[in-house]
Chains A and B, each alone.
Chain A
Amino acid sequence: MSHADDHYYVPHGSHWPIVGSIGLLFLMVGVSTWLNGAEAGFWVMLTGVAVVVFMLIGWFTTVIGESQGGLYNAQVDKSFRMGMFWFIFSEVMFFAAFFGALFYARNMSIPWLGGSSNNFFTNLLLWEGYESTWPTNGPGDVGGEFEVMPPFGLPLINTAILLTSSVTVTIAHHSLLAGKRGILTTFLALTFILGFAFVFLQAAEYVEAYEHMNLKLTTGIYGSTFFMLTGFHGMHVTIGAIMLTIIWLRVVKGHFTPDKHFAFEAVAWYWHFVDVVWIGLYVFVYWI
C-alpha cells in the first residue's frame, strides 16, 4: 500500500446511477410486458435501452474527462483495475452456468434418458428405443431432424480470427508501453476489425444453421446449448469490439500514456476473456 498522494480521492456525486436505474426499470418492464404479448412493451423496452445507452455514454464521458483532467491518483487506478478483474470473474461464472448445463446434459441427463446407470426403467417406460448420443435433440426429437455444425470450416476460421486479434491487441499494448503510437493505432484498429469480422461470420453461421441445417434455438438440448453459449459469447464479442473501437478513438485523440492507460488494459483483459471463452466453446461445443 503506497500512495502517490497523501490525500484520498473521493468523486463528487453523480446523477448517472439513478438515470441508469430508471433506464433499467423501463427496460425490464418493457421486455416483460412484451414477452407477455403486449406490443407497446417493445417500445418501452427500446426507451429503456436508449436511457441505459445515454447513461453509459454520460457516465463514461464524465469519468474519461476526470481521468484526462488528472484527478485520479494511483490508488484510484488500482481500484479500477481490481474492479475490472472481479467483473470479469463474475462474467466467467455466468458462462460457467451454461457450460455446466452443457456438461450436465452430455454426461448425465442424456445417458440417463438412454437408460444408463440405474435408469433402465426411465428408458423402457418413458422413452423406449431412445439411444443416447451427442449431439441430440432429445428423445422427443424436439425441433425435428437437424444437421450438426461441423467444427472445421467457418468455426475454425473464427477461431483463427479471434486468436489473431488477441495477438494484435497484445502488440498494440506493447507499442503503447514503448510509446510507438503509430503501431498502436494500426494494431488496435486491426483488433476491432477482426472482432467485428468474427461477429459477422458468426451471424453468417447462424443464417446457415437456420436456413439450411434446421439447427435452431428450439433444436432440443443441442440447439439450446449451442445457441445460448455461442450467442452470449457473440454478444460479449460485440460489446468487446465496441469497447475496442472507443479505445481506438481515444488513442487517436491522444489519450493514454505508457504509465497511465487503465481503460486500454481493461478492454484488453476483456478481449482476452472472450478469447478464452471461445477456446472453451470451440473445444466443447463444436469439436469434441
Chain B
Amino acid sequence: MTTAVADAHDSHDDHGPAKGLGRWLFTTNHKDIGTLYLVFSLIMFFVGGAMALVIRSELMHPGLQFVHPEFFNQMTTMHALVMVFGAVMPAFVGLANWMIPMMIGAPDMALPRMNNWSFWILPVAFGILISTLFMPGGAPASGWTMYPPLVLQTGDAFPFLIFSVHLMGLSSIMGAINIIVTILNMRAPDMWLLKMPMFVWTWLITAYLLIAVMPVLAGAVTMLLTDQFFGTSFFLAAGGGDPVMFQHIFWFFGHPEVYIMILPAFGVVSEIIPTFSRKPLFGHDSMVYAASCIAFLSFIVWAHHMFTVGMPLSGQLFFMFSTMLIAVPTGVKIFNWVATMWRGAMTFETPMLFSLAFVFLFTIGGFSGLMLAVAPADIQYHDTYFVVAHFHYVLVPGSIFAIMAAAYYWLPKWTGYMYNETAGKLHFWLSTIFVNLTFFPMHFLGLAGMPRRIPDYSTQFADFNTMASVGAIGFGLSQLVFVYVLLTSKKGVTATARVWEAPKGLEWTVPSPAPYHTFDTPPIARVKQEAFE
C-alpha cells in the first residue's frame, strides 16, 4: 500500500479493495472505514450491553446478589462510557462515512487518510478503557460524568480513564472535521446546501457541535489530571477552585453531546419516513432550521443538569426557560414527520417500523425531558430512576432504534442482497416490547423515589425492578436476532439499485452493492434528476 507517489497517480480509478488485513489497516476508502466503524460499534454495543445486564441482574431483586457495590459502580460507569463513545457515536460516524459521500455525489471523504486514523484511534482508546477493569482498584466507578472529588478516588485506572477520553475526543474531532469538509467541499455541482438530504444536513450540524465541544471535554479532564497529579486547584475549594466548576465545564460539553447522539438519528428518520410514505419530506427547510436551532440552544442550557447543585435564582430561571425552548424546534421536527406520513401510501418494512417507533418513543423521552427541565420539579426528580428512564428513552428507542433503522434501510445497498424481512420484523417487535418493559417502569420507580446508581433498594421497588430486569435481558437477547440478520444478509434475493419502491437521493442511483469507488467524476445529471423533486 505504501506505493511511490508516481504510481499512486492513477491508482484510484478502477481497482477494487486490497487483499487481506492490509485492506482494513491501511484503507482510505470511505466504505471500508464506514464498515470498520459500524462493526466496532456493534461489538461495543454488545460489550456495553453485557455491562447493562450485570446491572439489571443485580437489580432484579432487592439485596445484594451477584456483584460487590464497587463493581456495580464500575459497571454503571463503563456501561455509559462504552455506549456513548463506543457504540452510539461510532455507529453514526460509520453511517456518515458510508452514506454522505454517496448522498452528495462525492468520490470519498475529503481527507481519506485522516479518516483512517479517526477510526484506528478508537480501538486504542477502548482497549485502554476496558483494560482498566483488570487494574488495582478496578475500573472508574464515579459515573461517566467523572465528577470530582469522587473521580479522584479512582485507583490506578484514573490516568487511563483520562487519556482514553482524550483519545476518543481526538478521534471524534478528526472525524467531525472530515465530515464538515466533505459536506462543504465535496458536493457535486448543483447540490447546493438546501438541496442536501436531511441526513447530510443533520450530520453537518452534528460535526460542528463535535468540534465545538469535544475540546472542552478534553480541557475538563486535563484539569482533573493536573489536580490529581500536579497539584493544581481547579476543583479544590481550599485553593480557590470549585468542584462545581467541573460540572459546568463538563455539561457545557455534555449537553451538546446528547444532541450529537440524536441529531443524526433525526436525519436517518427523515430519510426513511418519506421513502415508505411515498411522499417527499414535509418541510425540508424547516427541518434544517429546527436542527440548527436545537444546536444553538444546546450551548446555553447545560446547567439544567445541575439544578440541585446550587446556583443563583437567575441562573435557574435562565436555564429552565432556555431548556424548555428546545421543545419548539423538536416539536417542529415531530410534526413534520407526522405530516410527511399524512395521507401517504405507507408500507411497514423493518426500517419504517423502527422509524415509527422512534417518532413515538423518542417523543415520550422528550416529554419526560420537559418535565425535568422544570427547575423546582427537577429537585424531586434529580438522581432518581426517572432520569434514567428519560435518557434511556431518548437513547435506546431514540438513537439506537434510528441506527437499527438505518442499518436495515441501507443494508441492501451495502451488501447487494435483501435482508431477511421476517427476522427483521421479529427483531423490531421484540426490541420494541422489551425496551418499553425495561424503561417504562423506571419512570414510576423514579417518581416513587428510587435513587439511581445504587446496587440495592428498598423492597417496595421490587416489582418494577424485576419487570425492568426481565425486559433488559429480553432486549439483550433480541439483539441476537439482528446478528442473525447480519450473518444471513448475503443469502437473500439480489437487491436492485433502487432497493425500495421510490427512495429519493443519489445513493439509489448507484448499483447494489455500491461499487468500491462510487463517483469518479461529478454526477451532474444525476443530481438534477434525483436530488430535486
Contact = CB atoms under 8 A, between A and B. Distances in A.
A224 B5 contact: no
Interface stretch (A131-139, A200-208, A246-254): A131-139
Interface of B is mostly: helix
Contacts of A217: 226, 230-232
A195 interface: no
B2 interface: yes
Q: Considering the complex of A and B, which 8 residue pairs feature the smallest CB-CB distances, nearest first? A: A97-B219, A140-B238, A138-B240, A221-B240, A17-B117, A109-B242, A8-B107, A218-B231
A112 B244 CA distance: 12
Nearest to A135: B240
B245 A105 contact: yes
B238 A24 contact: no
A248 to B, nearest CB: 24
A21 B117 contact: yes
A104 interface: yes
Contacts of A2: 189
A42 to B, nearest CB: 13
B528 interface: no
Contact of B159 (A31, A83, A87, A222): A31
Given A14-B113, A93-B216, 15 more contacts: A2-B189, A3-B522, A8-B519, A10-B12, A10-B107, A13-B28, A14-B28, A17-B116, A22-B124, A24-B124, A69-B9, A86-B176, A97-B218, A138-B233, A221-B241
Contacts of B458: none
A82 B242 contact: no
A3 B106 CA distance: 13
Nearest to A9: B12
Contacts of B8: 11-12, 66, 71
B105 to A, nearest CB: 10
10 contacts: A1-B187, A1-B188, A3-B522, A25-B124, A93-B211, A105-B241, A139-B238, A139-B240, A224-B232, A224-B234
Contacts of B181: 79, 82-83, 86
B530 interface: no
A89 B213 CA distance: 11
Interface of A: 1-3, 6-18, 20-22, 24-25, 28-29, 31-32, 35-36, 59, 62, 65-66, 69, 71, 75, 78-80, 82-83, 86-87, 89-91, 93-98, 100-101, 104-105, 108-110, 112-113, 117-118, 126-127, 136-140, 142-143, 216-218, 220-225, 227-228
A36 B132 CA distance: 13
Given A21-B124, A83-B177, A87-B177, A13 B230 contact: no
Interface string B153-166: 00010011001101
Contacts of A112: 242
Contacts of B107: 8-10
B148 to A, nearest CB: 13
Contacts of B106: 8
A4 to B, nearest CB: 12
B117 A224 contact: no
B513 interface: no
A66 B5 contact: yes
Contacts of B160: 28-29, 32
Contact of A86 (B124, B211, B230): B211
Contacts of A21: 117, 120-121, 123-124
A1 B233 contact: no
A79 B185 contact: yes
A7 B520 contact: yes
Nearest to B17: A13
A78 B240 contact: no
B219 to A, nearest CB: 3
B167 interface: yes
Interface centre among B6, B22, B213, B245 (most CB of A within 10 A): B245
B146 to A, nearest CB: 14
A100 B12 contact: no
Given A142-B238, A224-B226, A104 B248 contact: yes
Contacts of A93: 211-216
A31 B236 CA distance: 24
B242 A6 contact: no
Q: How large is the interface on B (under 10, 10 to 19, 20 to 34, 35 or more residues)?
A: 35 or more
A224 B236 CA distance: 11
A83 B123 CA distance: 24
A156 B112 CA distance: 44
Given A36-B159, A140-B239, A221-B239, A97 B215 contact: yes
B102 to A, nearest CB: 13
A224 B120 contact: no
A55 B226 CA distance: 28
Contacts of B245: 101, 104-105, 108-109
Given A32-B159, A105-B245, A228 B232 contact: yes
B239 A101 contact: no
A29 B135 CA distance: 13
Given A1-B189, A8-B106, A78-B185, A14 B11 contact: no
Nearest to A27: B163
A219 to B, nearest CB: 8
Contact of B211 (A13, A62, A89, A136): A89
A51 to B, nearest CB: 12
Contact of A89 (B12, B212, B240, B522): B212
B26 A13 contact: yes
Contacts of B236: 138, 140, 142
Nearest to B128: A28
B184 A110 contact: no
Nearest to B164: A28
**Interface core residue of A6, A28, A90, A227 (most chain B CB under 10 Å):** A90
B113 A222 contact: no
A238 B92 CA distance: 36
Contacts of A83: 110-111, 114, 177-178, 181
B237 interface: yes
B459 interface: no
A28 to B, nearest CB: 4
A122 B117 CA distance: 49
Nearest to A26: B124
B58 interface: no
Contacts of A78: 185
A10 B233 contact: no
Interface string B110-141: 11111011001101100110000000000000
Contact of A94 (B124, B127, B188, B218): B218
